[in-house]
Structure 1
Amino acid sequence: MNKRINNKENRRYIERKTTCTAKKKLVSIAMTAGMVSLFITGCGAKNKINTSTIFAMDTVMQIEIQGDEALLAEAEKRIRNIEDELSVTKEDSEIGRLNKEKSATLSEDGTKILQDALKVCEATDGSLDISVYPVLKAWGFTTGQFRVPSDDEIKELIANVDHSKIDVDYAGEKECSVRIDDNMQLDLGSVVKGYTGSYLAEFFREKGVTSGLINLGGNVECIGTKPDGDLWRVAIKSPFEDSKSGVLGVIETSDMAVITSGGYERFFEENGEKYWHILDPNTGKPARSGLASVTVVGRNGTVCDGLSTALFVMGEEKAEKFYKEYSTGNKGIAAFDLIMVTEDKKVYVTEGVNTIFSLTEEYADMDVSVIR
Structure 2
Amino acid sequence: MTLHRFRAMNSQFFTKGLDEGAQAMAESWIAVVEEKLSRFNPRSELSNLNRSAGQPFRSSTLLYEVLAEANRYYEATGGLFNPYMGHVIRQLGYSSTFEALAETSANSDPMFVTKPFDCEQPLILDPDTREVTLALKLAVDLGGFAKGWSAHQLSLMIQHAGVRSGAIGAGGDLTLWGVPDEGWSVSIGDPWEASRDLMELQVRYPAGIATSNTVRRQWRDSAGQSRHHIIHPRTGAPAESDLAQVTLFAPNLVDAEVYAKCVLLLGREQGFEWLADNHPACAAIGVLHDGSVRTVGAIGQYAEERGVRE
> Considering the TM-score relative to the shorter chain, is it more than 0.5?
yes
SS of the residue corresponding to residue 89 of structure 1 reads: coil
- RMSD, aligned α-carbons: 2.6
- The answer to whether structure 1 residue 112 and structure 2 residue 71 are counterparts is no
Contact 2:155 2:175 in 1 (8 A): yes
How far apart, in 2, do the equivalents of 1:185 and 1:147 lie?
A: 18
Contact 1:130 1:187 in 2 (8 A): yes
SS of the residue corresponding to residue 165 of structure 1 reads: coil
Q: Per-residue displacement from partner, 1:77-108 (whole Å, max 9, x unpaired)?
A: 11111112222223333311111112323333
Please, which runs of 5 or more residues in structure 2 have no aligned partner? Answer: none
How far apart, in 1, do the equivalents of 2:39 and 2:191 lie?
A: 27
Q: Quick check: which has more Rg, 1 or 2?
A: 1
Residue identity matched to 2:43: D
Contact 2:244 2:288 in 1 (8 A): yes
- The answer to whether structure 1 residue 314 and structure 2 residue 266 are counterparts is yes
1:98 to 37, 45, 49: 49
TM-score, length basis structure 2: 0.86
Contact 1:116 1:303 in 2 (8 A): no
Once the two structures are superposed, the pairs formed by residues 218-367 of structure 1 within 5 Å of their partners are 218-226=172-180, 229-241=181-193, 245-269=196-220, 274-328=226-280, 335-354=281-300, 356-358=303-305, 360-362=307-309
SS of the residue corresponding to residue 142 of structure 1 reads: coil
Please, which runs of 5 or more residues in structure 1 have no aligned partner? Answer: 1-48, 329-334, 364-372
CA, structure 1 residues 59+162, in 2 after alignment: closer, same or farther (shift >3 Å)?
farther
Once the two structures are superposed, the pairs formed by residues 1-372 of structure 1 within 5 Å of their partners are 49-65=1-17, 67-102=18-53, 103-143=56-96, 144=101, 145-147=105-107, 149-150=109-110, 152-155=111-114, 158=115, 161-162=117-118, 164-172=120-128, 176-226=130-180, 229-241=181-193, 245-269=196-220, 274-328=226-280, 335-354=281-300, 356-358=303-305, 360-362=307-309
CA, structure 1 residues 62+232, in 2 after alignment: closer, same or farther (shift >3 Å)?
same
How far apart, in 2, do the equivalents of 1:275 and 1:72 lie?
A: 37
Contact 1:167 1:179 in 2 (8 A): yes
Contact 2:36 2:63 in 1 (8 A): yes
- Structure 1 residue 344 displacement after superposition: 2.2
Identity fraction in percent: 23
SS of the residue corresponding to residue 154 of structure 1 reads: coil
TM-score, length basis structure 1: 0.72
How far apart, in 2, do the equivalents of 1:279 and 1:324 lie?
A: 23
Q: Per chain length, whose mean CA-contact separation is higher, i.e. which structure has more relative contact order (CA < 8 Å, sep 6+)?
A: 1
CA, structure 1 residues 264+250, in 2 after alignment: closer, same or farther (shift >3 Å)?
farther
CA, structure 1 residues 153+204, in 2 after alignment: closer, same or farther (shift >3 Å)?
same
- Structure 1 residue 357 displacement after superposition: 4.4
How far apart, in 1, do the equivalents of 2:155 and 2:232 lie?
A: 31
How many residues are treated as equivalent by the alignment? Answer: 299
Residue identity matched to 2:174: V
Contact 1:193 1:302 in 2 (8 A): no
- Structure 1 residue 269 displacement after superposition: 4.8
SS of the residue corresponding to residue 113 of structure 2 reads: helix
Contact 1:233 1:250 in 2 (8 A): yes
- Structure 1 residue 350 displacement after superposition: 2.7
CA, structure 1 residues 244+185, in 2 after alignment: closer, same or farther (shift >3 Å)?
closer
Contact 2:213 2:244 in 1 (8 A): yes
- Structure 1 residue 124 displacement after superposition: 3.0
- Structure 1 residue 148 displacement after superposition: 5.6
How far apart, in 1, do the equivalents of 2:70 and 2:212 lie?
A: 16
